[in-house]
């Protein structure tokens, strides 16, 4: 079975970086008797999944698609891996990604690019950085997959591969055991074809984890309010109505808006001005955090190390990092170190302020209060329950087109995140739902109001 999956994934899409035996769902620190009493009928029995290869597993290697970690064996499982095993789902492999999650195409990877299985002849990109996770689900190689989303890394590949991709509220799902890229943005999420399966996985993973300092506490979870109204007010951010959107994507966006109108929902155009600054804000904050997080990879304590003897420890570390980290990772480390240096001035502080402005502007358009920032009884009338936009600018380009454009100007690849970054900066739950033209439709709700996304996704899938 695993040999067949490995061979097929190589032919179809290069989605898997490694394939492992299924994890024994009883193999953990908790005794079997405790598990039976606690879970009884396990909610995910019979399902299989893959985990993005920046989520650690003690069975096999965890590489983050980097030469630096190509021989790294974790001594423990991530919390999400343990929870899925507890509830009956079997891990069958680790998926390819942009190295350390840095990219939007899954071409910046030590294992070679992941090909979009929807159009294998054209060899189109699968999106990134969770491109392997999305491609594997699209190709039918697993029931669902886990990915991580820092600025759109679940939603964009889900859009390109024609599947559903959920980025929950920041802090809903534990990050403990996730190789960090930018810890104030990294969010574990779920990719699948069936919204019911995704919701079950979400319910399984939606737990407070004391090992994760960014995990939403039990108290905060109890304070979160959810939208139960049948008739919703759905906002269309005018900052997302941009010329660069593909005409087919615009038409499909309008089609689904009209479809939701026919179901009784109301629409209004809203303005969130800081969206225009979100891309530069994101790359300032994310690269600064990445430079700090990736400083630990020196090849001395673990990971890739040169065979040749170097004159000094400094030369060894420089050689290790230069030879084992990809071009995009090196670029972002350099950019992040510049941002954190005194030479850059106050770029980091200014980006932090824009991020706060963006959060406040999102709060101004949502009906429900933000449980961390506002009076939880403060419900604003005539405001939005939900926001809607395309997930991507259009259909996925071919790998050749993408590479050629990136070679001309590497900033072109950063523009792929323009529609997804805002909700990441604000920590809002978002989901990408497949549209009929091969792109995706993005829904965003207030902080903590994740369940609303499942309900509206089901309605969209009927249109």
Nearest-5° angle of CA 147, CA 150, CA 151?
A: 115
**Quick one: DSSP state of residue 136?**
H
Do residues 325 and 297 lie in contact, with contact meaning Cβ atoms separated by under 8 Å? Answer: yes
Determine how many CB atoms are found less than 10 A away from the CB of residue 11.
12
The one catalytic residue among 66, 129, 215, 430: 129
**Angstrom distance (rounded) from CA 440 to CA 249:** 8
Chain position carrying tokens 């792109």: 439
Q: Is 153 a catalytic residue?
A: yes
Q: Is 129 a catalytic residue?
A: yes
Determine how many CB atoms are found less than 10 A away from the CB of residue 193.
15
409's CB contacts (< 8 A; 6+ apart) are none
**Angstrom distance (rounded) from CA 461 to CA 425:** 27
- In three-state secondary structure terms, 79 is helix
Q: Which of 332, 362, 350 is nearest to 427 (CA)?
A: 362
The one catalytic residue among 153, 159, 389, 392: 153
Q: Is 52 a catalytic residue?
A: yes
The one catalytic residue among 9, 52, 66, 133: 52
**Angstrom distance (rounded) from CA 33 to CA 26:** 10
Do residues 305 and 316 lie in contact, with contact meaning Cβ atoms separated by under 8 Å? Answer: yes
First to last CA, the chain: 36
**Angstrom distance (rounded) from CA 34 to CA 415:** 49
Question: What tokens does 202 get?
Answer: 């979400």
**Angstrom distance (rounded) from CA 414 to CA 402:** 12
CA atoms within 13 A on the CB side of 139: 29
Do residues 146 and 128 lie in contact, with contact meaning Cβ atoms separated by under 8 Å? Answer: no
Residues designated as active site: 52, 129, 153
């Amino acid at each position: 079975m695993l040999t067949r999956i490995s061979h097929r994934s190589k032919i179809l899409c290069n989605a898997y970086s490694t394939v492992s035996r299924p994890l024994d769902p009883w193999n953990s620190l908790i005794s079997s008797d405790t598990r039976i009493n606690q879970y009884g009928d396990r909610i995910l029995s019979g399902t299989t999944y893959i985990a993005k290869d920046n989520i650690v597993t003690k069975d096999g290697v965890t590489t983050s698609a980097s030469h630096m970690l190509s021989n790294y064996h974790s001594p423990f499982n991530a919390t999400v891996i343990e929870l899925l095993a507890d509830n009956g789902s079997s891990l069958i492999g680790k998926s390819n990604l942009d190295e350390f999650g840095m990219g939007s195409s899954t071409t910046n990877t030590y294992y070679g690019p992941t090909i979009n299985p929807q159009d294998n002849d054209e060899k189109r990109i699968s999106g990134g950085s969770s491109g392997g996770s999305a491609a594997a689900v699209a190709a039918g190689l697993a029931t669902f997959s886990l990915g991580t989303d820092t600025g759109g890394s679940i939603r964009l590949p889900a859009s390109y591969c024609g599947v559903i991709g959920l980025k929950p509220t920041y802090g809903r799902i534990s990050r403990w055991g996730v190789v960090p890229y930018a810890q104030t943005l990294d969010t574990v999420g779920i990719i699948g074809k069936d919204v019911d399966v995704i919701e079950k996985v979400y319910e399984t993973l939606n737990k407070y984890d004391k090992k994760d300092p960014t995990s939403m506490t039990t108290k905060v979870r109890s304070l979160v309010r959810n939208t139960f109204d049948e008739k919703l007010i759905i906002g269309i951010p005018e900052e997302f109505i941009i010329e660069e959107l593909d005409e087919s994507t615009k038409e499909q966006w309008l089609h689904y808006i009209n479809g939701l109108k026919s179901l009784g929902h109301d629409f209004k155009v809203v303005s969130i001005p800081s969206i225009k600054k979100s891309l530069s804000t994101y790359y300032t904050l994310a690269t600064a955090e990445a430079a700090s997080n990736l400083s630990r990879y020196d090849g001395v304590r673990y990971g890739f190390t040169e065979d040749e003897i170097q004159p000094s420890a400094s030369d060894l570390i420089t050689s290790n990092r230069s030879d084992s980290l990809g071009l995009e990772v090196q670029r972002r480390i350099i950019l992040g170190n510049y941002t954190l240096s005194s030479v850059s001035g106050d770029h980091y502080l200014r980006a932090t302020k824009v991020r706060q402005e963006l959060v406040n502007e999102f709060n101004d358009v949502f009906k429900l209060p933000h449980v961390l920032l506002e009076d939880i009884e403060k419900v604003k009338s005539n405001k939005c329950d939900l926001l809607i936009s395309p997930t991507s600018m259009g259909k996925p380009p071919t790998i050749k087109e993408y590479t050629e454009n990136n070679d001309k100007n590497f900033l072109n690849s950063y523009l792929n995140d323009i529609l997804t970054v805002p909700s990441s900066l604000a920590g809002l739950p978002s989901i990408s739902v497949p549209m009929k033209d091969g792109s995706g439709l993005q829904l965003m709700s207030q902080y903590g109001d994740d369940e609303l996304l499942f309900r509206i996704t089901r309605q969209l899938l009927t249109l």
